[in-house]
Amino acid sequence: MSDQSIKSRPVYQSLAMDLSGLRHLLVSDSPAYRFEAPPDREVEVWFVAGPDQEGRIPPSETVHERGFRSPRHLIDRLDHRLAQERMGLRLYVSGTEDFLWDVFNTAQRAGMTKQEIFQCHSGTRARRVACVHCRTFNHGVTTTIVRCDGCGANLFVRDHFSRRLSAFMGVKIDAEVAGEVPPAEQAYS
Amino acid sequence: MILDGKLSARVAEIERLSPTLKRFRFVPEKGGAFPTSPPGAHVLVTLRGPDRVWQNAYSLVTPPDQRDHYAIVVRRVPDSRGGSHFLHDRLEIGDAVELSAPASLFPIASLARKHILIAGGIGLTPFLSYRPVLASRGAAYELHQFCAPDEVETFRGLLGSDAAGIHVHGVGRGERPDLAALLADQPLGTHVYTCGPQGLMDAVEETARGLGWTPHAIHRESFGGDKGGEPFTVTLARSGRSIAVGASQTLLEALEGEGIEAPCLCRGGACGVCLLPLVEGIPDHRDHVLSDAEKAEGRLIATCVSRARSETLVLDF
Amino acid sequence: MGIQFKTDETFRDDFSYRNSDAAVLRFPFPFGEDKYMYSVNIEPHVKAGTSPAFEHAFDVDEHYVAECRERAIVLDHDPKRCQVLAHMMPAQWDTLELLMESLSADYPEHFSLTRDGTAWHWINRPLGLDQRFVFGDASTLPCEPFEYITRQAQGDFTLQDQRDDNLYVDGGMVTTQADWSLEFDIGMSFHEWHGPVPLAHEIGVFDRALQYLLRLQYGHPVRRLNWTMTINPRLDTSPENYPDWGPDRTTVTPENIAGKLHLRVELQTLFRLPRSNAILFGIRCYLISLQDIERVEKWRKRLHRVLASLPPELVEYKGLTRFHGMAVSRLAALDDGAPLSLGIQPDQARLE
């Protein structure tokens, strides 16, 4: 089954500029972002440097660009920026699913609505999986079944996605009959 | 709270606020308390005149926790078909009136970080119930009231104070309110609410959109728009009766005028209660309930606001 | 005369929960026809209808005290079963007002509310509570208002915020749930929250239900019945504790099924709230054993027909796979195939 049929998971689009906005900010978890903007519009770009930078802030090529050391570094700065922003801003987000929703939740706390935020999924399809039993987050999951880092249960990765947690639900697969665990399949890479 | 039928009430006080404005205070007929009313709510007031019955929607100006009475403020309209002259000229203290349960079609946005309320003239009324609620929640808000210069003092009196964030602007003939100045440079997460003449509400919406506000941040009161148009005839398929709908009345009013009890609630094309199945004829949809696809299908019509593009409509009713 | 509460029964360990004969006869049996399929089966929640459970805004029965105690146990283990997002404080007070007004008006012998402006006095006799507080000031209650009052009510509750032409589940008290997690689902929109439900999305059930609920009017609540099946009279069938209750499903045998298998019915009610414009969603859970259903002729025959014709996707989704066949063959022996009256009423005044 295609994972895009999951009702609780959004269908991500490619990014296009929303011309009803007055100011435009693109945030990306990688330096290799792409965004088509009309020549007469300015887009500010915030991006995360690759691991090859080893903690250095990457140089900006134009005044509209700004580099950050990590996704966390970028989101902390974004939180501060949005607290001072005015109506008319449009926020574009490009990156892994974790990053898309961490940014979305930050923007929603600042008062932005879903009509002002646009998301494009890029990079790994690996899933963040929240264990529903012990609440541990399991990162970078690429298989249909994963052993929980927290409680050790063999979790089936259910097709149910929480935007607030930015995670899929993991449920113990052999809860009814202990040990009935089918082999895990590589599914989301 | 399960409400069954209408609320029986009595007129307890009538206060003249200006030559054309009166405030009416209603108390529960049998004592006790009215239901908690939503901020921005309106009630349908049933008025029984000697030769006809009106059901008019008025915003409550009392806050939610005011349950010993409800109050409305009504302007007497010169060419009144809605019953405002009846309220002004005939209604007396002690008279019985029937009220619907208060309905909420103009709620306060729960996630807004700031609220801008923009009213024109008597459109101030829903914001009179917003104000104490916003204040008690500690919410950031501004209220801008636009009115004719000779009514500035009246509305200042209604607002009760010149508290911070409350502005009454007199607008002379031919002048236009500077909405861009109000809406520019507002913090992220601001929502705007507007109630008043169609022209003002359109201008608020247009100005906000031009400044990059999205539709979810723009709220407008939806009852009280233009309801007139070309006259037409409606035929009720079940009884075979034909009823003329005049240029200045709604389809629903025409049915009620003939003593027919048609379903209705908001009387503003927002709640969907009045939808009736349409068998024949071309509807002129003016409601906010049906989707574009449903409007194109033409199988339902909101009788409280929608009219006909054909000479006749046949309803399965 | 008030309700005789069965104060000692349990929903875990020794499972001493039982229905009295009167409770069986007033059970809101959910099947009005011989086949079951999803539909927008919503009707006005007026104080009348084909089940006595519909006669009050919030139904209170003989299990009230025991269910409140069970809720307290679950919350003690996992306080996150009650969560309300920060912007829903007006809806918390709306809920408290609605429940206190309804319970005190419907059951004056058990609950009383007196008010002097914002000074409120609440008495809950079955639970022995006497609370004076200031309406609107959460610091005058032992906990937040939504938690305070839903600890004193049967069934789960969620709060739906209405914005952007959608409903968001932005709060809840969820301790008696049929396998869904508030901690995971809180904040979700209507379609996200119902995401895992099979078949219903495709026939447009959720689109139409959402459009209907967005127009839900204050003072005019609505209701519907939903159902599933549970092994043992266990209220807390949460995904959180699935490792603890999942093994129950393997313990069913033809010999013990009548006592172990329970039909689990949710009387779902939806109320528009005034101050917040939110919707309070009540999910009142009723449990009845198969052996008690078998004491009503119409119900045992109808349950047989419904289970025998249930689409396989629903058998799987409702978690019935391990014992569905066993239940159908047991009930088949009790069904002569005679036509049954439409509707959910038992058609008999005493149990067999």
Amino acid at B132: P
Give the integer Cα–Cα distance in Å for C268 and C264.
12
User: Looking at chain C, which subunits does it touch, using at least 3 CB pairs closer than 8 Å as the criterion?
Assistant: A, B
- Nearest-angstrom CA–CA distance, C39 and C31: 13
Å between C271 CA and nearest CA of chain B: 8
Q: Which residues contact B34 (CB under 8 A, 6 or more apart)?
A: B7, B9, B28, B67, B68, B69, B70
* Residues in chain A where the model's pLDDT stays below 70: 1-7
Q: Are B187 and A88 an interchain contact pair (Cβ–Cβ within 8 Å)?
A: no
Q: Is C204 on the interface with B (CB under 8 A)?
A: no
| Residues contacting residue B293 through CB under 8 Å, at least 6 positions apart | none
Query: Closest residue of B to A89, CA-based?
Result: B212
| CATH code, B23 | 2.40.30.10
How many Å lie between the alpha carbon of C297 and the closest alpha carbon of chain B?
A: 34
* Confidence at B86, pLDDT banded by 50, 70, 90: confident
Q: How many CB atoms lie within 10 A of CB C341?
A: 10
- How far does CA B68 lie from the centroid of its chain? 23
What stretch of H or E contains C147?
helix C145-150
**Is residue C224 flagged as an active site residue?**
yes
pLDDT (0 to 100) of residue C1: 60
Mean pLDDT of chain B: 90
> What is the per-residue pLDDT for C47?
86
- Under 8 Å CB-to-CB from C220, ≥6 apart: which residues? B2, B3, B101, C44, C272
Whether B160 and B200 share a structural domain:
yes
Please, are residues B58 and B43 in contact by the beta-carbon 8 Å criterion? yes
* Beta partners for residue B278, in sequence order: B315
Residue of A nearest to C202 (CA): A7
B174 burial (CB, 10 Å; 0-12 / 13-18 / 19+) is exposed
How far is it, in rounded angstroms, from Cα C80 to Cα C74? 10
Q: What is the DSSP string of chain B?
A: ----SPEEEEEEEEEE-SSSEEEEEEEETTSS-PPPPPTT-EEEEEEE-SS-EEEEEEE--S-TT--S-EEEEEEPPTT-SSSHHHHHHT--TT-EEEEPPPB-SSPPPTT-SEEEEEEEGGGGHHHHHHHHHHHHTT-EEEEEEEE-GGGHHHHHHHH-S--TTEEEEE--TT----HHHHHTTPBTTEEEEEES-HHHHHHHHHHHHHTT--GGGEEE--SS-----S-EEEEETTT--EEEE-TTS-HHHHHHHTT-----SSSSSSS-TTEEEEEES-EE---SSS-HHHHHHT-EEETTT-EESSSEEEE--
Neighbours of chain B (3+ CB pairs under 8 A): A, C
Looking at residue B265, its pLDDT comes to 67
Same domain, B182 and B138: yes
What is the rounded CA–CA span in Å between residue B187 and residue A181? Answer: 53
Q: What is the pLDDT of residue B46?
A: 86
CATH value at residue B268? 3.10.20.30
A contacts of B190 (beta carbons < 8 Å): 87, 111
Select from A26, A140, A183 the least CA-distant residue to A89. Answer: A26
Q: Which amino acid is it at B256?
A: E
C-alpha distances (whole Å) from A47 to each of A77, B5, B114 are 12, 60, 30
Would the CB atoms of C322 and A162 count as touching at under 8 Å? no
Residue B272: which of C47, C94, C215 has the nearest Cβ?
A: C215
Which of B99, B129, B146 is where one domain is finished?
A: B99
Cβ–Cβ contact C54 with B under 8 A? no
Give the separation between CA B193 and CA B183, rounded to whole angstroms: 11
Set of chain B residues whose Cβ sits within 8 Å of the Cβ of C47: 2
Beta bridge partners of residue C130, listed in sequence order: C123
pLDDT of residue C80: 96
CA-nearest residue to C56 within chain B is B2
The pLDDT, as a whole number, for residue B9 is: 96
Mean pLDDT of all residues in B265-279: 79
Paired tokens of C256: 């013990």
The whole-number pLDDT of residue B103 equals: 87
Same domain, B62 and B137: no
Size of interface A-B (CB pairs under 8 A): 51
Which of A133, A135, A160 faces C196 most closely, judged by CB atoms? A160
C132 touches chain B (CB under 8 A): no
Return d(Cα A63, Cα A45) in angstroms, integer. 9
Tell me which amino acid residue A60 is.
S
The domain boundary, picked from B49, B67, B99, lies at B99
A7 contacts chain B (CB < 8 A): no
Residue C197: count of CB within 10 angstroms of its CB: 17
Q: Which residue of B has its CA nearest to A111?
A: B189
Of B38, A27, B246, residue with least CA distance to C279: B38
* Domain-located, residue B292: yes
Residue B268 to residues A76, B191, C313, Cα–Cα distance (Å): 46, 22, 43
CA distance B47 to B33: 21
User: Does residue B126 contact residue B108 with C-beta atoms inside 8 Å?
Assistant: no
pLDDT under 70 in chain C at which residues?
A: 1, 39-40, 198-204
Q: Are residues B120 and B212 in the same domain?
A: yes
Among the partner-chain residues C164, C195, C242, the one whose CB lies closest to the CB of A160 is: C195
Query: Comparing C-alpha atoms, which of B94, C304, A9 is closest to residue A1?
Result: A9
How far is residue C209's CA from residue C232's CA, in Å, rounded to a whole number? 32
Chain C residues with CB-CB distance to A163 below 8 A: 187-188, 192
For the stretch A174-177, contacts whose Cβ atoms lie closer than 8 Å and that sit 24 or more positions apart, written own/partner, are: A175/C242, A175/C243, A175/C246, A175/C247, A176/C246, A176/C247, A176/C249, A176/C250, A176/C322, A177/C247, A177/C250
Q: Which residues of chain C have a Cβ shorter than 8 Å from any chain A Cβ?
A: 164, 181, 183-188, 191-196, 201, 239-243, 246-247, 249-250, 322
Question: Bridge-partner residues for B73, per DSSP?
Answer: B23
Question: Which CATH topology does A3-121 take?
Answer: Rossmann fold (3.40.50)
Amino acid at the residue B216: H
Calculate how close chain C gets to B156, using CA atoms only, in Å: 26
The answer to whether C82 and C177 have CB atoms below 8 angstroms apart is no
Angle between helices A71-83 and A97-109 (to 10 degrees): 20
**Which ipTM score applies to this complex?**
0.90
Q: Using DSSP, state whether C108 is helix, strand or coil.
A: coil
Q: What pLDDT shows up at residue A1?
A: 30
> What's the gap in Å between the CA of A163 and the closest CA on chain C?
7
pLDDT for B129 equals: 96
CB contact under 8 Å between B110 and C215, yes or no, is no
Task: Kindly list the residues from chain C whose CB atom is less than 8 angstroms away from the CB atom of residue A6.
Answer: 195
Which residue from B minimizes the CA distance to C46?
Answer: B2
Task: Give A174 to chain C, closest Cα distance, Å.
Answer: 8
C215 neighbourhood in chain B, CB within 8 Å: 271-273, 289
- Rounded to whole angstroms, how far apart are CA atoms A174 and A157? 13
The pLDDT, as a whole number, for residue A159 is 86
Query: Considering the domain boundaries, does residue B70 fall inside one?
Result: yes
Mutation target vs B (from A79, A87, A112, A117; most B CBs, 10 A cutoff):
A87
Cα–Cα dist A63/A84, whole Å: 20
The verdict on a CB contact (< 8 Å) between A6 and C242 is: no
Interface of A with C (CB under 8 A): 6-9, 113-115, 130, 132-133, 135, 153, 158-165, 169, 171-172, 175-178
* DSSP annotation of C237: B
- Judged by CB atoms closer than 8 Å, whether chains meet at A20 and B112 is answered as no
Find residue A23's DSSP bridge partners: A89
- The count of other CB atoms within 10 Å of the CB of residue C349 is 6
Q: Report the amino acid identity of residue B307.
A: R
Q: What secondary structure letter does DSSP report for C216? A: P
Instruction: Quote the minimal CA–CA distance from A24 to chain C in Å.
Output: 22
Which pLDDT score is estimated for A2? 33
A137 within 8 A of C166, measured Cβ to Cβ: no
Nearest to A163 among C187, C246, C250 (CB): C187
Is B274's pLDDT higher than 60?
Answer: yes
User: Looking at the structure, do residues B76 and B123 belong to the same domain, yes or no?
Assistant: no
Whether residue B93 is found in the same domain as residue B15: yes
3-state secondary structure B210-241: HCCCCHHHEEECCCCCCCCCCCEEEEECCCCC
- Residue pair A68/A49 in contact (Cβ under 8 Å)? The answer is yes
Tell me the CB-side half-sphere exposure of residue C76, using CA atoms within 13 A.
6
Of the candidates B186, B212, B216, the beta carbon closest to that of A22 is on B212
The answer to whether the CB atoms of B213 and A85 lie below 8 A apart is no
Is B190 an 8 Å CB contact of chain A?
yes
pLDDT value, residue B82: 64
* Res B271: pLDDT: 64
B120 and B87 in a single domain? The answer is no
Question: Cα A142 vs. chain centroid, distance in angstroms?
Answer: 16
In this predicted structure, what is the pLDDT of residue A4?
Answer: 37
Spell out which residues of chain A touch residue C164, defining contact as CB-CB under 8 Å: 113-115
Above 60 in pLDDT, residue B226? no
Strand partners, B96: B10
pLDDT at B161: 67
What distance in Å separates the CA atoms of residue B5 and residue B24, rounded to the nearest whole number? 22
B162 pLDDT band, cuts 50/70/90, is low
* pLDDT tens digits along B33-46: 999 999 999 998 98
Whether C161 contacts chain B with CB within 8 A:
yes
How far apart CA C75 and CA C152 sit, in angstroms, is 13
The verdict on a CB contact (< 8 Å) between C275 and B39 is yes
**Among A168, A19, C189, which residue's Cα sits nearest to residue B210?**
A19
- B194 with B291, same domain: the answer is no
Q: Could B2 and C221 be called an inter-chain contact, meaning their C-beta atoms sit closer than 8 Å? A: yes
CA distance B306 to B298: 12
Domain span at residue B24?
A: 7-99
What is the pLDDT, as a whole number, of residue B98? 93
Instruction: From the candidates C18, C69, C224, C249, give the one annotated as an active-site residue.
Output: C224
Residue B60: closest CA among B98, B86, B93, B99:
B99
Q: Using the 3D structure, point to which of B42, B75, B99 is the last residue of a domain.
A: B99
Give the per-residue pLDDT at B224: 44
Q: Specify whether the CB–CB gap between C302 and C340 falls below 8 A.
A: yes
Report helix angle B125-136 to B152-159, nearest 10.
40
Judge if B94 and B120 occupy the same domain.
no
- pLDDT-above-70 percentage for chain B: 94
Q: What pLDDT does residue A14 have? A: 87
Mutate to test the interface with A, among B190, B214, B216, B218 (most CBs of A within 10 A): B214
- Residue B232 backbone phi and psi in degrees, to 5: -155, 175
Q: What is the mean pLDDT of residues B183-202?
A: 95
Which of B111, B212, B215 comes nearest A87 by C-beta? B212
pLDDT of residue A79: 97
Residues carrying CATH 3.40.50.80, chain A:
3-121
User: What's the pLDDT score for residue A3?
Assistant: 39
Question: CB-CB: which of B112, B188, B215 is closest to A86?
Answer: B188
- Number of structural domains (chain B) is 3
Window 57-96 of A, Cβ < 8 Å to B? 82, 85-90
Compute the count of residue pairs across chains B and C with CB atoms less than 8 Å apart: 79
